[in-house]
Amino acid sequence: MERVDPFSLVANELSLIATRLRSMVAAEVPNLASAAEYFFKIGAEGKRFRPTVLLLMATALDVHIPELSPPGIGDTLPTDLRTRQQRIAEITEMIHVASLLHDDVLDDADTRRGVGSLNAVMGNKLAVLAGDFLLSRACLTLASLKNTEVVTLIATVIENLVTGETMQLTTASNKRFSMEYYMQKTYNKTASLISNSCKSVALLAGHTAEIAMLAFEYGKNLGLAFQLIDDVLDFTGTSASLGKGSLSDIRHGIITAPILFAMEEYPQLRAVVDKGFDNPANVDIALEYLGKSRGIERTKELAMKHANLAAAAIDSLPQSDDEDVIKSRQALIDLTQRVITRNK
């Protein structure tokens, strides 16, 4: 069967969701509305990676796509399954954007998705409030699904996001220099959202705990692989050479997998990291050690391991001969490879 672009399989639904998201974040207070809409504007939607995964997952779990109803009709309690699953994609995107807004305030970031960050454009207070507003809209949408198990999963996600961001603030070196701690933080910050939403899509369809778990495992491992590659790209950027990335993690004193692996090989690197990276010379020394080490390579290998685990979860789903189901499963497997090979 010929390969299909994962995004093109769900393009129509993605634009439907984008339209619905724009109407969902409209607010009575103009300032709040313009802040909340900031990243849902046409052109600033980002890669829409999460909604794509969730819609593909919905089909991969043997759910047929009904004829799309025009936006506006499904605004009351969604009865049909596909619309309810689309709601999960919308909730996920709102939570994701809220976490970006809050992270940018915490990190004092200047840009996001190639445009000025909201905190830089509108100030920290409004950026925090806009994030809170998005979270409350996500909660309202979640409540409308009237499924307590799904509510529990998504509430856990929000807690995980807070925990992960808090874990990142720690200065205790036994934690900062622990690979296990780093992976737990990464799960909380990045993988929890996609794994629990994938599981929610399965639960809404009435699947068994086993199948819900496979959906969860796919999301979790895809999310971990995604973040590990992000950590590599922060050092390498689009080129294969070191130091061509934005180096924003290390400059913020955030220690990620490549450095952790390098420290295993070169314990001397610990002292450099302990001094902190306010001094650019220390960044250069750390990069030199990283270049000599297998840090980048080992991080890519770990990402590959998780990508393969994600693909294995899809392969474990019950056999189906439905063409759409097979296509969507193939697309989900393709995404595991795309996550690894991307350079942006």
Enumerate domains of the chain plus CATH numbers.
Answer: 8-65+73-341 (1.10.600.10)
Q: Grade residue 38 by pLDDT with cuts at 50, 70 and 90.
A: low
How far apart are the C-alpha atoms of 329 and 7, rounded to whole Å? Answer: 13
For residues 289 and 252, is the Cβ–Cβ distance under 8 A?
no
**Residues in Cβ contact with 297 at an 8 Å cutoff, skipping those fewer than 6 apart:** none
- Is pLDDT above 70 for 67? no
Q: What is the pLDDT of residue 248?
A: 86
- Is pLDDT above 80 for 336? yes
- Is pLDDT above 60 for 68? no
Average pLDDT of the segment spanning 129-152: 93
Average pLDDT of the segment spanning 96-109: 82
Over pLDDT 70: what percentage of the chain? 87
Looking at per-residue pLDDT, the higher value among 2 and 324 belongs to 324
Give the type of residue at 27.
Answer: A
Average pLDDT of the segment spanning 17-41: 74
Q: What is the pLDDT of residue 6?
A: 86
Q: Grade residue 36 by pLDDT with cuts at 50, 70 and 90.
A: low
pTM (two decimals): 0.88
Looking at per-residue pLDDT, the higher value among 217 and 274 belongs to 217
- Is pLDDT above 50 for 75? no
Q: What is the pLDDT of residue 26?
A: 76
How far apart are the C-alpha atoms of 298 and 65, rounded to whole Å? Answer: 40
For residues 201 and 61, is the Cβ–Cβ distance under 8 A?
yes
β-pairing verdict for 111-112 and 115-116: antiparallel
Q: Report the sign of the C-alpha dihedral through residues 296, 230, 247, 173, in that order.
A: negative
Q: What is the pLDDT of residue 321?
A: 92
Looking at per-residue pLDDT, the higher value among 126 and 186 belongs to 186
Average pLDDT of the segment spanning 161-168: 94
